[in-house]
Amino acid sequence: MSSAETAAPAIILVTPQMGENIGAAARAMLNCGISDLRLVAPRDGWPNIKAERAAVGALEMMPPVKVFDTTAEAIADLTHVYATTARDRRMVKPIVTARHAAQEARARVAGGGRVGFLFGPERTGLLNDDLSLADTLLTVPLNPAFTSLNLGQAVLLVGYEWYQAGDATPGSVLEMNGSVPASKDQLVNFFAHFERELDACGFLRNEEARPHMVRNLRNMWQRANLTEQEIRTLHGVVKELATLRQARKSAAESDR
């Protein structure tokens, strides 16, 4: 376990009912690089064979789950606690989105804080007494006409935001898989070959429209982000199509 992982937040499930949900939460946590799972008075005790099955190996890869009698004990070592809640709880308390919480939590951890996320039992959610032990309420913005999320999914979304807040994957890259992007002179050489054959076959015969059509075709090839190999393939395609055209033309002439 790296220090980055040990600094990750605690996930605290308060009086969880179903083992399957505890296991799904553990799996979702490990997906998101979080491994500090704490249970407050789980209904069916601990360990729980249904949780182990649903975790598909995640529990074995995490430190032992800690079990507590009360929420206060489960959060005793933490410095900032977010309480997940779907409903308006008639409390004067800051309420944040999962995304905001994740960014804030990363900053707190970087500053030496120890952060936890509280999740209530499946049907009822957290009790108001538990909420009063938390600094901040957290809700996940979802379709208000259908907010039914199970415990594992709720943990996944909170954990996902935590992971994204510390992840540097670029939003978009062109995956090259060992191919080499074509240089602009290779591309321009292909343009010349392509346009020469289009002139030869008469496709660009309209002199007025020609500059515009050439630019559009060039832009189309530019958008394709061609590789060196693809440029070679396209030279071959154009050559073979032109040869086919010549052969058909010759055949048509000899038929006359």
Q: What residues line the site for its own copies (CB under 8 A)?
A: 27-28, 30-33, 56-58, 61, 88-97, 99-100, 104, 137, 139-143, 145-149, 153, 156-157, 160, 163-164, 167, 169-179, 225, 227, 230
Q: How far is the CB of 87 from its own copies (least distance, A)?
A: 11
| Closer Cβ to its own copies, 180 or 192, answer by number | 180
Q: How far is the CB of 192 from its own copies (least distance, A)?
A: 23
Q: Dihedral of CA 128/131/137/138: which sign?
A: negative
Q: Dihedral of CA 135/86/90/128: which sign?
A: negative
Strand arrangement, sheet containing 80-84: 66-68, 36-40, 10-14, 115-119, 80-84, 136-139
Q: Cα separation of 140 and 216, whole Å? A: 45
Q: How far is the CB of 114 from its own copies (least distance, A)?
A: 19
Q: How far is the CB of 245 from its own copies (least distance, A)?
A: 28
| Closer Cβ to its own copies, 130 or 195, answer by number | 130
| Closer Cβ to its own copies, 44 or 135, answer by number | 135
Do 203 and 158 contact (CB within 8 A), yes or no?
no
Neighbours of 171 (CB within 10 A): 4
Sequence-distant (6+) residues with CB within 8 A of 45 are none
Structure tokens that stand for 17 in this block: 């009912």
| Closer Cβ to its own copies, 40 or 154, answer by number | 154
Half-sphere exposure of 189 (CA within 13 A, CB side): 11
Q: How far is the CB of 238 from its own copies (least distance, A)?
A: 20
| Closer Cβ to its own copies, 124 or 229, answer by number | 229
